[in-house]
Amino acid sequence: MIVQSIIDTDLYKFTTSYAYFKSFPQAQGTFVFHDREDTVYDESFITRLNAAFADLEKLSLTDEEFEYMVKNCRFIPQNYFEWLRGFRFESSKLKVWLSEEGHLHIEATDLLYKVTLYEIAVLATVSALRNEGNEIEMEDVISRLKPKIELSNRERIPFSDFGTRRRFSFEVHKTVMEYIKANAYCCNGTSNCYLAMKLGMKAIGTYPHELPMFIAAVNGGPRQANYLAMEEWVKVYDGYLGIALTDTYGSDIFFKNFSKKHASLFDGVRQDSGDPIRFIDMAIARYNELGIDPMTKTIIFSDSLDFPRAAEIMKACEGRIRCSFGIGTNITNDTGYKPCNIVMKLSQCCMNEKQQIRKCVKLSDVPGKAMGDATEVDLYRRLLE
């Protein structure tokens, strides 16, 4: 099995699923796969991919996993995990095909609280299948990891594993995290719930781009989407999980939406695209403007990081604002082979089956990372300007 368990996924998938479950139980959505490098695949890959998706149907929440999630995710009520016991992936929900150019297309459509759970499983499966023919030695993987952990220990770089979606394989992910658990002094945890359970680590997570994307689509655009997303998060989680994602429509508009209320309630913010040094200045300026000491808040940096870059960013934060780092592919897919650059994002949604389907847009702080229908992307940019 490529995916080991229902909970072999990121914590934020469950927190987001429950937010939909509680606040928008009839909302529906479609997630669309995107390969940023336009890799060419062949029909044999599609055959293997469909077989792997069929294997996902065999997964179900075990008693051990149920007890772990109820005990360690107290911000999500037990009735959600009771529902999750009955959840099964359905390969019929996944549409898979190749374009004439050989580019891979995958779509998943269902109720939002269900379909959000497909994202990480799909991405981890595609990544692992692409790496099946690449031979590696675990000793080489650890030899690449060792100096990174030595740097983290020496410089006291606080970090968490964010690497499930583009990992080389589960076996590499597990081996890497076992080494980190034994040797890293400054690791705060892992986003992967299954490995957190198996290794006795803390499960880490924030909210994702898809929540403000959904809210913008069904509530009239991006101007207030960040504010409304934070309002929903506070309603559902009452102060838990207090890191706000900033770049869905650009950090400039986020900080305009970042009220005294939310800046006080949320423990910090996450930077996921753009210039981290400029972001530090923006965040500190906004906290100061609101009369909040920036040293009581934290920035989580998570944009394509490695440990030397994290060390540079940490120095820029020193004495100004607290920081931590979510490091993904550089931990779980540094094997000597080029990692894939794949994402799966919410592309359309509706509040319920009787409502009009709306297209979803993500802009980010890097123009080339914008996702969505080109006309809608242009409309969102004009609305924000």
For position 283, what pLDDT does the model report? 98
- Which domain does 357 fall in, by range? 11-134+342-384
Cβ contact 181:187 at 8 Å? yes
Mark whether 347 and 258 lie in a shared domain: no
Look-up: residue for tokens 């297209």? Answer: 359
Q: What are the tens digits of pLDDT across the range 253-270?
A: 999 999 999 999 999 999
Whether the pTM exceeds 0.85: the reply is yes
Q: Are residues 290 and 150 in the same domain?
A: yes
Q: Quick one: pLDDT at residue 263? A: 98
Lookup: tokens for 301: 């940096």
DSSP class per residue in 343-379: EEEEEEEESSTTSPPEE--B--SSGGG-BS-HHHHHH
Q: Give the pLDDT confidence score for residue 364 in this predicted structure.
A: 93
pLDDT, tens digit, 9 for 90 and up, residues 133-181: 899 999 999 999 999 999 999 999 999 999 999 999 999 999 999 999 9
pLDDT digits (tens, 9 = 90+) for 298-315: 999 999 999 999 999 999
Shared domain for 328 and 230, answered yes or no, is yes
Q: Is 120 strand, coil or helix? A: helix
220 has pLDDT over 90: no
Residue 231, domain CATH? 3.20.140.10
Cβ neighbours for 317, distance < 8 A, ≥ 6 positions apart: 280, 299, 323
Let me know whether 129 and 252 are in one domain: no
- Asked if residue 271 and residue 306 are part of one domain, the reply reads yes
2-to-163, 219, 346 alpha-carbon distances in Å: 15, 38, 23
Helix (H/G/I), strand (E/B), else coil: 322: strand
- Proportion of the chain above pLDDT 70, given as a percent: 100
**Predicted pLDDT of residue 369:** 83
Q: Are residues 186 and 313 in the same domain?
A: yes
Averaged pLDDT, 209-238: 96
| pLDDT reported for residue 206 | 84
pLDDT at 368: 78
Same structural domain for residues 122 and 160? no
Residues 214, 17: contact at Cβ < 8 Å?
no
CA distance 233 to 244: 9
Contacts of 158 (CB under 8 A, 6+ apart): 186, 188, 323, 324, 325
What integer pLDDT is reported at residue 83 of this predicted model? 98
% of the chain beyond a pLDDT of 90: 97
Nearest alpha carbon to residue 35 among 379, 373, 371, 380: 371
Those residues whose C-beta lies under 8 Å from the C-beta of residue 316, and which sit 6 or more positions away, are 276, 277, 280
Domain membership of residue 6 (yes or no) is: no
| Co-location of 270 and 214 in the same domain | yes
Tokens representing 313? 């960013």
* Residue 221, in any domain of the structure: yes
Q: Is there a domain that residue 25 lies in?
A: yes
313 and 200, same structural domain? yes
The answer to whether position 5 is within a domain reads no
**Do both 172 and 86 map to the same domain?**
no
**Length of the chain as a residue count:** 385
Residues 39 and 154 in one domain: no
Specify whether 151 is located in the same domain as 293: yes
Report CA dihedral (360, 364, 366, 372) to the nearest 10 degrees. Answer: 0
pLDDT in tens, 322-371: 999 999 999 999 999 999 999 999 999 999 988 999 999 999 999 778 99
Per-residue pLDDT at 218: 96
Residue 4 forms part of a structural domain:
no
Q: Does the pLDDT value for residue 48 go beyond 90?
A: yes
Kindly provide the b/e burial profile for residues 327-354, where b requires at least 16 CB atoms within 10 angstroms of the residue's own CB: bbbbbbbbbeeebbebbbbbbbbbbeee
Q: Rg of the Cα trace of the chain?
A: 20
Closest CA to 148 of 186, 174, 111, 93: 186
Residue 184 is assigned to a structural domain of this protein: yes
Q: Where are the alpha helices (DSSP H) in the chain?
A: 11-23, 43-56, 63-72, 78-86, 112-115, 118-130, 138-155, 170-183, 193-199, 210-218, 225-237, 251-257, 260-265, 276-289, 307-317, 329-332, 374-384
Of the candidates 262, 246, 263, the residue with the CA atom closest to the CA atom of residue 365:
246
Tokens of 223: 């101007």
Residue 368: inside a domain: yes
Return all residues near 312 (Cβ < 8 A) that are at least 6 apart: none
Return the axis-axis angle of helices 170-183 and 138-155, rounded to nearest 10°: 40
